[in-house]
Amino acid sequence: MPLAALVGNPNAGKTSLFNALTGSRQKVGNYPGVTVERKSGRLALPDGRIAELVDLPGTYSLSPRSPDEAVTRDMVMGTQVGERRPDAIVAVVDATNLRNHLRFVLELRRLGLPMIVALNMIDLAERDGTQIDVARLSSILGMPVVPTVAVRRRGLAELAAELAPRLADAPIPAIPPESDIRLLQREARVIADTVTLSQGIKRKWSQRLDGIALHPLWGPILLAGLIFLMFQAVFSFAEVPMDMLAKGVAWLQAQLGTLLPDNWFRSLLNDGVLGGVGAVIVFLPQILILFFFILCLEQSGYMTRAAFLMDRVMARVGLNGRAFIPLISSFACAIPGIMASRTIDEPKDRLTTILIAPLMTCSARLPVYAIVIAAFIPNRPVLGVLGLQGLVLFGLYVAGVVGALVAAWALRRTVTKGTTPTFLMEMPAYQWPAPRDIGIGLYQRAWAFLGRAGGIILISTVALWALASWPKPPEGATRPALEYSIAGKIGAALEPVFRPIGFNKEIALALVPGMAAREVAVSALGTVYSLQGADADHAQPLVERLRGRWSLATALAFLAWYVFAPQCISTLAVTRRETGGWAWPAFMFGYLFAMAYVAAGATYWIAVWLGA
């Protein structure tokens, strides 16, 4: 029985065409890589013969980056164990994305196998106003080109008619393909431009926008501008709702101070719950504004362009663009970012991405940054239009990204040394973000944040309140009550370690529960300073308390510490699961602690030297 193989890029409609030709039942998806197994079926040819049709995994080239892509390469090369080489190839091409899909056709043509092209989804191209000269494309490629619409079963008979005479009995030796992707891509673009008689308005607008978004000069400037605008908005737009939330927490503390007697229960509610958890909840507006921008960029299709731009930078430190999506995910939380690194096929590349993911500024750091910036950085304009606080926040995020790139550069040249594979990415069409999807995304993130505030942050804060409240100071004690408590003794024990970098014992104490989640450090500071104050001080926000107890040098050192701070316990646990042991989580904790300590110390001593 002759054998024909369906081959093509992901999302070319290959599986739909396979179902239409063979009548098989199979899952059809729209995401790259959905075809993960070998699927075969029987195809009735016009001359009465029956051929076996195999649906190979989607791939962008014959240089495999995953086991699935290796199967496709080995099948068409005739080197797949237990399989015979196909007698002919049906290359499935997306008619709406001819420029990118033709490159793989040119690479397949070099194999020397009998071949035809299924110009699939031709109806979508025509609806968009794109007209393709099929006869000329066939002439240039030197093989039949059949327009098809798999989901409507258009062009199937013509395809089978062209395939039948090419299923020869005698095998043809495979020729190793050329591997110069750039040359093939250039040739594909020339052919696509030649045979495309007219292009749809949508495609033209997309290409015009990409001319700016992907430009070597304007593209990075646009990306930096969008990110900078995002951080300016985080402070500018959130000021009013944050102030309302802070006043609400202070009002509740005042009401409890009036209604309840002065005992441990009132202290638990006021100092533990409201002083700690309330100090974190007020940052909900900033987190929602940050994710509003991120969701809009994702849904508009721009985030993929950003990954393309960042690929150039990441290649210089030994990573490729596949690491960009896991690292972007780490801006929300390092845990989904580390799990998303499973899409990276090269083991050393994946391990490097896991190790640097905690350096991306996760949303848990935002409350830490925001409260210190609000306390010590003046809210004044810079150059007339920019806000100094937003500028500092932007700088902290940039510092995290730069730190991650430096760490990746060092890791790829030492413990994770290896080759960097090439990277191909298909650009989605630009589209307006759907308000409903944006709303759902914000709701999910708000719920997750409040869930953490009511879970791990509340538990950690109450535990810290208990450690800071007992034992009580003895009769006639003259020192602050905190110094007699268990938490005070822990802080005193840690203080010598952190004193050289400008941290007092309250900060040293807050770093311990901050291992549960980074934002717990804020609630811990709120609880500790609340216990040290009188009831009248409950109306005083944590920002005011920090101003009276920290120097500017200490505040800047605290910010530098959290740019590189060791990750939370949950991140360590996920890293252990993804790396199969505790060796790499221990390494991650160690190098991040060293970076945070050195950065905080350098920042503190430079600030002191400058008189801060």
With a cut of 90, say whether residue 92 has pLDDT above it.
yes
pLDDT digit string (tens) for 382-410? Answer: 777 678 888 888 889 889 989 999 999 99
Structure tokens at 397: 């995020």
Vertex 514 angle, CA 512 and 520, to 5°: 130
| Strand 88-94, strand 50-55: pairing | unpaired
Dig out the tokens for 43 from the structure: 């195809």
SS (H, E, C) 273-296: HHHHHHHHHCCHHHHHHHHHHHHH
3-state helix, strand, coil in the chain (%, to 5): 65, 5, 30
For 180-229, the three-class secondary structure string (H helix, E strand, C coil) is CHHHHHHHHHHHHHHHEEECCHHHHHHHHHHHHHCCCCHHHHHHHHHHHH
**pLDDT confidence band for 31 (50 / 70 / 90):** very low
Question: Could you report the per-residue pLDDT of 205-234, keeping only the tens digit for each?
Answer: 777 888 898 888 899 899 888 877 877 787
98, 196 in Cβ contact below 8 A?
yes
SS3 431: coil
Claim: this prediction has a pTM higher than 0.75:
no
Q: How confident is the model at residue 78 (pLDDT cuts 50, 70, 90)?
A: confident
How high is the mean pLDDT of the chain? 81
Residue 257 has pLDDT above 90, yes or no: no
Q: Of the given ranges (114-118, 191-195, 247-251, 331-335), which has the lowest mean pLDDT?
A: 331-335
- Summarised one tens digit per residue, pLDDT across range 366-383 is 888 888 998 898 888 877
Closest CA to 116 of 166, 183, 76, 186: 166
CB 417 within 8 Å of CB 260: no
pLDDT attached to residue 202 = 63
